[in-house]
Homo-oligomer: A and B are copies of this chain.
Amino acid sequence: MKKSILLLLVMFSTLIFAQENKKLALTPPMGWNSWNKFGCNVDENMIKQMADAMVSSGMKDAGYEYIVIDDCWQVSRDSLGNIIADPERFPSGIKALAGYIHSKGLKFGIYSDAGTKTCQGRPGSRGYEYQDARTYATWGVDYLKYDWCNHSTQDAKASYSLMKDALVKSGRPIVFSICEWGTNKPWLWGKEAGGNLWRTTGDILNCWDCITDWGGMGWILILDKQNGLESYAGPGHWNDPDMLEVGNGGLNDTECCAHFSLWCLLAAPLMAGNDLRDISESTTEILTNKEVIAIDQDVLGKQGYKIKDDGDFEIWYKPLESDDIAICFLNRSKEPMDIDIDWETLDIKGKYKIRDLWKKKNTGTTNKNFKAEIEPHGVIFLRLIEED
């Protein structure tokens, strides 16, 4: 009798826990990650300052919650195989750092790699999956970005499923960010492997459309690779076009608006990658525009897609809750562009109020054509609000 009560309790806790895991990342995760700005140059003071700045800049209020340390926090393993943080850069230890971040009402993320070594040659988790997941849980880790360097001939789905199993076994709900660069089409198996988000391409670069041999590219080239993937995203499992380059200097404010708008239209994870301690007013305005962020975080969880492509001019579309619609007009050219849109040609019938999300103004309805000028490399980002 006692045994069966115990068994019921165990089953019940397992159920609760499974439910908790299912509740992870029901909207695209928002936060900050060290890589884009700092690369390997990470330490505990900088990370703590970033947590402070996330609060003081208003980003926390806007919905950002994860502070994620990318590669280079780890240096070795001890004789029992436990992963060891760099004692010079993280003298207080990762657990204390996680505690500090939690004390700010934020969540804490960390980085590892499915291979023998990380991309920067630090110890990877391969063959240590359960031990590392246990360590992360002990430290209070809430988010794991899991990279794909030095993976040998491993099968990607199996490797990521394994770490997911280890995270679940750890007993702590941990958002699982699959960083496999799109090579093995993770949108086809990422959800089954337990990923809450999965990268679809190589690394984003701090530019409009530059490109490198090793697969890095500007945000507009990444955007081009997202269309067609929309059916794979949804609450709890997102396509990840990589972190934001807003505020890192490679894009002007107009371009940053375009990049941020389209990431929101894609229901992309919004991981800021700039120095939050030294953030301009315009960057803050972009990153904390709540009406724009609301497009990203819409509870329907639909990833937007392109409905018109005229070369330099594109129209992107995202269904929202309450039958609202997000529309983004993108001018890829280096010249201003005049547009004159007949809504019916976009199959948008019925009457919607038009809200310009960057001007923060209502600008008429869909009863008549929409006429405007779009800046070079700019967007006009609208919410069409269904009238009752």
Contact = CB atoms under 8 A, between A and B. Distances in A.
A155 B154 CA distance: 5
Contacts of A1: none
Contacts of A129: 127-128
A126 interface: yes
Contacts of A165: 116, 127
Interface string A143-162: 00000000111110111011
Nearest to A159: B154
Contacts of A126: 162
Contact of A157 (B131, B153, B157): B153
A131 B81 contact: yes
A322 B318 CA distance: 79
A153 B162 contact: no
A356 to B, nearest CB: 48
A52 B341 CA distance: 90
A181 interface: no
Contacts of A157: 152-153
B153 A158 contact: yes
Given A129-B127, A130-B81, A153 B155 contact: yes
Contact of A128 (B130, B153, B154): B130
A237 interface: no
Chain A, interface residues (CB within 8 Å), range? 20 to 34
Contacts of A155: 152-155, 158
Contacts of A151: 158
Contact of A131 (B130, B159, B161, B163): B130
Contacts of A153: 155, 157-158
A80 interface: yes
A62 interface: no
A157 to B, nearest CB: 5
Contacts of A81: 130-131, 134
A207 interface: no
A128 B126 CA distance: 9
A80 B134 contact: yes
Nearest to A170: B81
Interface in A118-145: 126-131, 134
Closest 4 CB pairs of A and B: A127-B129, A154-B158, A153-B158, A153-B155
